[in-house]
């Protein structure tokens, strides 16, 4: 179903500018723009634009000196007056409180980022002043947090909320990031910019979920798979009570074969103290799998595989994207650490068996 376009009017003036025209655009990812209309400025900087746009959304008027941030909806009739030399600081709007709030917040965000970057540079240049500079920055941060919270709470139903993402680090404040994306997607899901945001959010959400599933202290997901004799099945949980190295490898994997002597040495040293290995092969050839086990001296009995290579069911459970991939599991079946190699593996096993 095609969404009905919106009709908008924008007029006003921009003085102190060398520009002869402005472009009405939407900013996309990676600082790219989708342009919709161009409007000429007369010799006094006055302009008037009437056009149609895909949907109510967050747009910008681009001019040589910078951008003017706008929220445009059906039948918007906005007047804009700006100083080309200081667009961020001196731009006024008539008939659009949303645009005014957006523009003010964007300027405040840019100022906060500038202050923060300046402070970091000063602390690097004058480390003896770090404490004083840090105290000053904490005051500035509290002030900006107040501005942010006001903008965030008052624009839940506006595409202006997208601007808040400029000062959010999703890795450190995922809940706020998620809240913003969900809010703009609910009301403006047809927007190209919002679709980009939702795609980025889904990728980050998947990564975060995976990280949480395999975080230290979490239970290692149980599974059941066929063993080397192709008749018997075993579960990871069959080894509960032992320290287990879950080792994803394959006969065709050079780095895996290179690491195998370290795994064998650790197994031989601690096998009588409560340590074992469960090897999950990503092979697709039974004979080559058996041959590699014999050649590398992988003498523990816990070898499983469905011989489906990268389509391995267990590999998919553990989201294996590359091998060797190992996970050390404690006596209770909980994850301790992933991808331990060489001496680091032996040290970790020794600590768990103390």
**Model pLDDT, residue 208:** 82
pLDDT at 253 over 90: yes
Where do runs of H (alpha helix) occur along the chain? 97-125, 130-154, 174-188, 192-213, 254-270, 286-296, 313-317, 342-352
* pLDDT at 3 exceeding the cut of 70: no
**From residue 165, how far is each of 3, 74, 181 by CA, in Å?**
26, 25, 9
What CA–CA distance (Å, rounded) separates 296 from 310? Answer: 22
Q: Which residue has the higher pLDDT, 317 or 206?
A: 317
User: Which residues have a Cβ under 8 Å from the Cβ of 332 and sit 6 or more positions away?
Assistant: 240
Question: In the prediction, which pLDDT does 2 show?
Answer: 53
| DSSP β-bridge partners for residue 334 | 219
Q: What is the mean pLDDT of residues 113-125?
A: 92
Question: Mean of the pLDDT values across residues 101-119?
Answer: 93
Distance between CA 326 and CA 338 in Å, rounded?
6
pLDDT band for 49, please (50, 70, 90 cuts): very high
What is the pLDDT, as a whole number, of residue 23? 97
154-179 tens-digit pLDDT: 999 999 999 999 898 888 888 899 99
pLDDT confidence of residue 301: 97
> Is 90 exceeded by the pLDDT of residue 60?
yes
Residue range 10-35: average pLDDT?
A: 93
Burial of 215 (0-12, 13-18, 19+ CB in 10 A): exposed
How far is CA 55 from each of CA 112, 235, 341, rounded to the nearest angstrom?
31, 54, 54
Would the pLDDT of 1 be above 70? no
Q: Is there a common fold for 6-88 and 224-352?
A: no
Residue 210 reports pLDDT greater than 90: no
Q: Residue 164's CB: how many other CB atoms inside 10 A?
A: 22
- Map out the domains of the chain as residue ranges: 6-88, 105-213, 224-352
Mean pLDDT for 308-328 is 94
The span from the CA of 136 to the CA of 140, in Å, is 6
Classified as helix, coil or strand, 116 is helix
pLDDT at 215 over 90: no
Q: SS3 of 91, please? A: strand
C-alpha span between 177 and 167 (Å, rounded): 10
Helix or strand (DSSP H, E) at 14 = strand 6-15
Assess whether pLDDT exceeds 50 at residue 48.
yes
pLDDT of residue 16: 93
Q: Binning pLDDT at 50, 70 and 90, where does residue 279 land? A: very high
> What does the pLDDT average to over 177-205?
90
The CATH code of domain 224-352 reads 3.40.30.10
**Mean pLDDT, rounded, for 82-108:** 92
Domain 6-88 has CATH 2.40.50.660: no
Report the mean per-residue pLDDT for the chain: 93
Is a pLDDT exceeding 80 seen at residue 65? no
């Amino acid at each position: 179903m095609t969404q009905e376009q919106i009709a908008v009017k924008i007029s006003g003036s921009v003085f102190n500018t060398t520009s002869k025209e402005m472009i009405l655009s939407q900013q996309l990812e990676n600082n790219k723009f989708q342009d919709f209309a161009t409007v000429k400025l007369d010799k006094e900087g006055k302009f008037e634009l009437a056009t149609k746009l895909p949907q109510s959304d967050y747009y910008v008027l681009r001019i040589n000196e910078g951008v003017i941030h706008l929220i445009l909806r059906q039948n918007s009739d906005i007047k804009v007056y700006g100083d080309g030399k200081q667009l961020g600081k001196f731009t006024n709007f008539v008939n659009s409180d949303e645009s005014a709030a957006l523009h003010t917040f964007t300027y405040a965000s840019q100022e906060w980022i500038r202050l923060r970057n300046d402070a970091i540079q000063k602390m690097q240049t004058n480390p003896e002043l770090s404490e004083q500079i840090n105290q000053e920055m904490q005051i500035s941060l509290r002030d900006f947090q107040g501005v942010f919270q006001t903008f965030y709470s008052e624009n839940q139903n506006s595409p202006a909320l997208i601007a808040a993402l400029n000062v959010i680090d999703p890795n450190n404040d995922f809940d706020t990031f998620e809240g913003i994306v969900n809010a703009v997607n609910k009301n403006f899901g047809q927007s190209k910019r919002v679709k980009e945001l939702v795609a980025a959010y889904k990728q980050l959400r998947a990564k975060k979920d995976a990280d949480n599933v395999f975080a230290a202290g979490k239970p290692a997901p149980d599974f059941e798979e066929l063993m080397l004799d192709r008749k018997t099945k075993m579960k990871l949980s069959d080894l509960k009570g032992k320290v287990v190295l879950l080792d994803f490898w394959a006969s065709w994997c050079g780095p895996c074969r290179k690491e195998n002597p370290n795994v064998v040495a650790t197994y031989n040293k601690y096998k009588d103290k409560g340590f074992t290995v469960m090897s999950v092969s990503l092979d697709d050839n039974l004979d080559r799998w058996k041959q590699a086990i014999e050649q590398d001296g992988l003498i523990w009995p816990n070898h499983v595989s469905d011989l489906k290579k990268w389509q391995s069911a267990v590999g998919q459970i553990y989201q294996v994207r590359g091998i060797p991939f190992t996970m050390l599991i404690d006596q209770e079946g909980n994850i301790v650490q992933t991808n331990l190699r060489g001496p680091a593996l032996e040290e970790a096993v020794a600590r768990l068996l103390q």
